[in-house]
């Protein structure tokens, strides 16, 4: 079998459907913005940041999330948000990514010069539009020999938050402080979805979906059901972090309570031992039926190999990751970075890991690439998406042929 080289992986058209904007800054940009804004960081060099904050491995999820306190601190004005979005598009384009969905919680970036969720979304949109305009004017893209670059936005509702997280949340606690905290979580999600729909419909912001992020344990998906019903009614895509920090029943809740189209991570999908609901007696049967449900409905799993190893100590090594079982079960799964800075990774690196650890054949690699494009929440008409995917498939085949790889 012809070797799958790093150059081939870099040139192949790829997607990143699970990519957190606030976890994917260039470290140099973080340092520059922090210096300009008077934000104190634990280190004043890229090497120092990698040593003290953005490590190769973490003790647990809380340590992993610690770095977001620094990235979010420099993301409170329009110019910074626009720049960070543009640079993220630029970094992805440079390694062959032709479609990405950057997700973030705009409510965390209000304050400073950005007062509303809509203003945050508009700033990020300007960064996306600047990147698309720059790269799509290439001659090879204009004449159709290469596919264009496209990007869109997924907004993140949060399972848990506190008043210090942002002025948005602080004002909610002040206005609705007498309500149970769980009710506040739900109200915040509804407010986010309404603002995002408004931005899409009236401000030409490419919001294509809604996500639910944060700790699963103790913060059930059902709390956010009204918000996701709003998103469903407005024809937004729905993806949920599930099965990352909790058992298979969390995935089922995301699919049923929140109309979920895709699952973020889904790491414990196959693990009956992680079922916490005592009413489920036949655990193996439950998992088998859940896997069949996911397969039948082509629910796509957004798999983040490096991130999972860093945040889930129980995996211990990549050989224990369920991605191979996903392949064997013929599930729709696509490889993603999660956080390019926090996990110190790229899309190409994630595919390198998968090819090496799980012995992906060229045909399997080809299929994984396609899942990302077909199951994207593409910001356009279905006819446009079909034409885009067709162009991607033709370009993919030409790259394989260029490298002498037969499918």
Q: Which residues are catalytic?
A: 244
10 Å CB burial of residue 32 (0-12, 13-18, 19+) is middle
Report the distance separating Cα 27 and Cα 45, nearest Å. 9
Report the distance separating Cα 7 and Cα 81, nearest Å. 31
Report the distance separating Cα 118 and Cα 202, nearest Å. 10
Q: Which residues contact 35 (CB under 8 A, 6 or more apart)?
A: none
Smallest CA-to-CA distance from 379 within 149, 224, 89 is with: 149
Task: Report the C-alpha dihedral over residues 91, 392, 381, 241, rounded to 10 degrees.
Answer: -50
Report the distance separating Cα 321 and Cα 101, nearest Å. 24
Report the distance separating Cα 77 and Cα 116, nearest Å. 11
Contact 334, 300 (CB under 8 A): yes
Using a CB cutoff of 8 Å and minimum separation of 24, what contacts does 9-12 make? Answer: 9/96, 9/348, 9/351, 9/352, 9/355, 10/95, 10/96, 10/348, 11/96, 11/399, 11/402, 11/403, 12/96, 12/351, 12/365, 12/369, 12/396, 12/399, 12/400
Local structure of 53: helix, strand or coil: coil
Tokens 């994207």, residue? 376
DSSP calls for 73-86: HT--SHHHHHHHHH
């Amino acid at each position: 079998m012809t070797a799958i080289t790093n150059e081939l992986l870099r040139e192949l058209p790829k997607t990143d459907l699970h990519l957190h904007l606030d976890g994917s800054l260039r470290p140099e940009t973080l340092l520059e913005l922090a210096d300009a804004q008077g934000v104190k960081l634990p280190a004043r060099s890229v090497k120092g940041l990698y040593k003290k904050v953005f490590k190769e491995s973490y003790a647990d999820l809380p340590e992993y999330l610690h770095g977001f306190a620094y990235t979010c601190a420099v993301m409170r004005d329009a110019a910074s948000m626009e720049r960070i979005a543009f640079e993220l598009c630029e970094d992805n384009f440079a390694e062959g990514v032709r479609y990405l969905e950057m997700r973030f919680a705009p409510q965390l970036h209000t304050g400073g010069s950005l007062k509303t969720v809509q203003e945050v979304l508009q700033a990020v949109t300007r960064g996306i539009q600047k990147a698309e305009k720059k790269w799509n004017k290439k001659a090879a893209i204009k004449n159709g020999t290469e596919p264009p670059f496209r990007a869109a936005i997924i907004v993140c509702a949060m399972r848990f938050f506190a008043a210090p997280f942002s002025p948005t949340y602080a004002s909610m606690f002040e206005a609705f402080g007498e309500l149970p905290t769980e009710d506040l979580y739900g109200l915040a999600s509804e407010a986010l979805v309404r603002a995002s729909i408004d931005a899409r419909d009236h401000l030409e912001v490419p919001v294509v979906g809604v996500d639910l992020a944060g700790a699963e344990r103790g913060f059930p998906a059902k709390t956010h059901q009204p918000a996701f019903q709003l998103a469903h009614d407005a024809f937004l895509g729905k993806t949920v972090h599930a099965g990352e920090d909790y058992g298979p029943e969390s995935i089922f809740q995301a699919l049923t309570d929140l109309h979920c189209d895709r699952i973020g991570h889904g790491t414990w999908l196959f693990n009956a031992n992680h079922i916490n609901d005592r009413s489920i007696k036949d655990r193996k049967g439950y998992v088998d039926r859940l896997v069949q449900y996911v397969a039948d409905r082509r629910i796509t799993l957004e798999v983040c190999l490096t991130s999972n190893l860093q945040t889930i100590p129980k995996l211990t090594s990549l050989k224990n990751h369920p991605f191979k079982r996903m392949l064997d079960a013929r599930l729709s799964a696509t490889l993603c970075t999660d956080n390019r800075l926090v996990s110190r990774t790229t899309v190409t690196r994630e595919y390198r890991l998968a090819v090496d650890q799980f012995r992906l054949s060229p045909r399997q690699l080809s299929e994984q690439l396609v899942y990302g494009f077909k199951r994207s929440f593409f910001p356009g008409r279905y006819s446009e998406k079909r034409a885009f995917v067709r162009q991607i498939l033709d370009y993919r085949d030409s790259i394989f042929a260029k490298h002498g790889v037969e499918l």
